[in-house]
Chains A and B, each alone.
Chain A
């Protein structure tokens, strides 16, 4: 595992972590923990195998560990409270904020699959291997996640109803 190969993956890890967590600092912390764990488990990486999938797998497991722990009270601020002017151009700012906000209302397991498909363009089989779940589970999470996201994006009613149900 050489430095340039790792360095090339860091921006992708950051993008995915940011999309998963919605918070820049928390995302970069997760990336840092992922890289540290990767270095300490270097012996488990088989040369020639897909480093990206390996790193995303590590990040996934760290995230699972985090979710199992009791939540800190720092999750209470709604994402809509932040106005980050540099995030998007004026015209599609609303739409982008919508998708990010809608995404944050998906269950973790659905968001994860959706992002690996949309951002990482991983194959379903690679996602199943990375997350350690059956291929059928990948498909059902993807299907449910997309449909839920569509309903949320379709309007406040759907969004509000889903929030209550959840």
Chain B
């Protein structure tokens, strides 16, 4: 007989190989004389094995973009929301987002209506919706501190591959670092007939700008830079082949024009 009786904790630790060598052999001798206990240990060992076989494949699954994006700090961490229940937080956010989109769309639509009387010659050259849609997308997403983008710049390769695939044509965010703007990331948005892309940048002061890229132009007529003011948002936009580009930010027209030129210079013109 063993000087120290084998306890249930010993049996569990034996299953998990967590016993010192001496104690381990004590348990082994004990199990050799107790077939029922030995059967129990075998069952526990096969449980462990079954759990691993069942769930380990999850380790190799590709990460959803929203999770890999969270490997880096969200642009601004909202500390105040932590103590609210998650469900309330979620549903409130969703409802608020719905209202915000409705409000902003309505407001921007009203603005655009006001800015574009039917006789406006610009309306012929470019779809009037491009600058308006871009501005709406800008005001909806750029103030979002927690989830401004779907895929962050940390995963720029994934972002480029994903958006290119969804838009059916290569798209790539221009590099605006020389002008003080760093890429935050991008997202997919619904356009008039299909997906469009939005890239978001910010400068050191947190000022955000967005580049809206649509592949929906069928007019087959390139345009020069156009400028539009949509409420507080200034927009430069232009058509290049099937692409429509719109650069939106709440910064002054001269600065925005310089950035638009830099964007234009980096795009392959076909």
Interface set of A (CB-CB < 8 Å, partner B): 3-4, 6-7, 10-12, 14-15, 18-19, 28, 31-33, 35-37, 39-42, 62, 65-66, 69, 87-88, 92, 95-96, 98-100, 103, 114-115, 117-119, 123-124, 139, 142-143, 146-147, 149-150, 153
**Contact in complex: A103, B51 (CB < 8 Å):** yes
Give B49's nearest chain A residue, CB to CB. A118
Q: A39-B77, A139-B12 are in contact. Are A3 and B154 (CB under 8 A)?
A: yes
Contact B66 A139 (CB under 8 A): no
Q: Which B residues, 49 to 104, have Cβ-Cβ distances below 8 Å to chain A? A: 50-61, 63-64, 66-68, 70-74, 77-79, 82, 85-87
**Distance from B240 Cβ to chain A, minimum over Cβ atoms (Å):** 35
Contact between chains at B85 and A69 (CB < 8 Å): yes
B202 to chain A, nearest CB (A): 18
Interface of A is mostly: helix
Q: Are the CB atoms of B82 and A115 closer together than 8 Å?
A: no
Residue of B nearest to A150 (CB): B43
CB-based contact A66/B86 at 8 Å: yes
B86 in contact with A28 (CB, 8 Å): no
Closest B residue by C-beta to A62: B86
Residue of B nearest to A117 (CB): B16
Set of chain B residues within 8 Å of A117, measured between Cβ atoms: 16, 48
Q: Is the CB of B59 within 8 A of A11?
A: yes
Residues of A within 8 A of B61 (CB): 11, 14
Pick from A28, A36, A114: contact of B74, CB under 8 Å? A36
Residues of the B chain whose Cβ atoms lie less than 8 Å from the Cβ of A4? 71
* B9 close to chain A: CB less than 8 A: yes
Q: Interface 1/0s, chain B 1-16, versus A by CB < 8 A? A: 0000000110111011
**Interface size class, chain B:** 35 or more
Report the nearest B residue to A35, measured CB to CB: B70
Distance A136 CA – B70 CA, assembled complex (angstroms) = 35
A88 and B12 form a contact (CB under 8 A) = no
A6-B71, A12-B59, A32-B67 given; 8 more Cβ-contact pairs under 8 Å: A3-B72, A10-B68, A10-B71, A18-B55, A18-B58, A65-B85, A92-B53, A119-B51
Distance (whole angstroms) from the CB of A83 to the closest CB of chain B: 15
- CB atoms of A11 and B86 under 8 A apart: no
A36 & B70 in contact (Cβ 8 Å cutoff) = yes
A40 touches B67 (CB 8 A): no
CA distance A123 to B16 in the complex (A): 9
Complex: chain A residue closest to B80, CB-CB = A40
Q: How far is the CA of A33 from the CA of B52 in the complex (A)?
A: 25
Across chains A and B, which 8 residue pairs bring their CB atoms closest together, nearest first?
Answer: A7-B71, A35-B70, A99-B50, A15-B58, A118-B51, A40-B77, A3-B72, A11-B59
CB of B23 within 8 A of chain A?
A: no
A118 touches B71 (CB 8 A): no
Contact assessment for A33 and B51 in the assembled complex, using a CB-CB cutoff below 8 Å: no
Contact of A28 among B52, B67, B85 (CB under 8 A): B67
Q: Which residue of chain A is the closest to B152 with respect to CB atoms?
A: A3
Q: Which of B16, B52, B67 contacts A119 (CB 8 A)?
A: B52
Residues of B with C-beta under 8 A to A31: 67
* Identity of the chain B residue whose Cβ is nearest the Cβ of A124 in the assembled complex: B18
Residue among B15, B61, B73 facing the most chain A CB atoms (10 A cut-off)? B73
Query: 8 A-B Cβ contacts within 8 A?
Result: A6-B72, A33-B86, A35-B71, A41-B82, A87-B57, A92-B53, A114-B47, A139-B9
Residue contact B63 to A11, C-beta cutoff 8 Å: yes
The 8 Å CB contact of A32, one of B40, B50, B70, is B70
Chain B residues contacting A35 (CB-CB under 8 Å) are 67, 70-71
Q: Does B110 have its Cβ within 8 Å of any Cβ on chain A?
A: no
How far does the Cβ of B70 sit from chain A's closest Cβ, in whole Å? 4
B116 at the interface (CB under 8 A from A): no
Bound CA–CA A98/B49 (angstroms): 13
Determine whether the beta carbon of B51 is less than 8 Å from that of A115: yes
Q: Is B107 an interface residue (CB 8 A)?
A: no
Known pairs A19-B55, A99-B47, A117-B16; A10 contacts B87 (CB<8 A): no
The answer to whether A10 touches B63, judged by C-beta atoms less than 8 angstroms apart, is: yes
